[in-house]
Chains A and B, each alone.
Chain A
Amino acid sequence: EAGVTQFPSHSVIEKGQTVTLRCDPISGHDNLYWYRRVMGKEIKFLLHFVKESKQDESGMPNNRFLAERTGGTYSTLKVQPAELEDSGVYFCASNFGLTVGYGYTFGSGTRLTVV
Chain B
Amino acid sequence: AQSVTQLGSHVSVSEGALVLLRCNYSSSVPPYLFWYVQYPNQGLQLLLKYTSAATLVKGINGFEAEFKKSETSFHLTKPSAHMSDAAEYFCAVSDTGTASKLTFGTGTRLQVTL
Contact = CB atoms under 8 A, between A and B. Distances in A.
Interface residues of A, number: 32
B61 interface: no
Contact of A102 (B96, B99, B106): B99
**Contact size range, B:** 20 to 34
Interface string A40-68: 11111100101000011001000000000
B33 to A, nearest CB: 10
B100 A48 contact: yes
A108 B4 CA distance: 22
Contacts of B92: 43
A101 interface: yes
B82 interface: no
A48 B101 contact: yes
B45 interface: yes
Contact of B101 (A33, A97, A109): A33
Contacts of A101: 49, 51, 97
Given A4-B43, A108-B43, A100 B106 contact: no
Interface in A82-115: 91, 93, 95, 97-109
B101 A43 contact: no
A98 B90 contact: no
Interface of A: 3-4, 31, 33, 35, 40-45, 48, 50, 55-56, 59, 91, 93, 95, 97-109
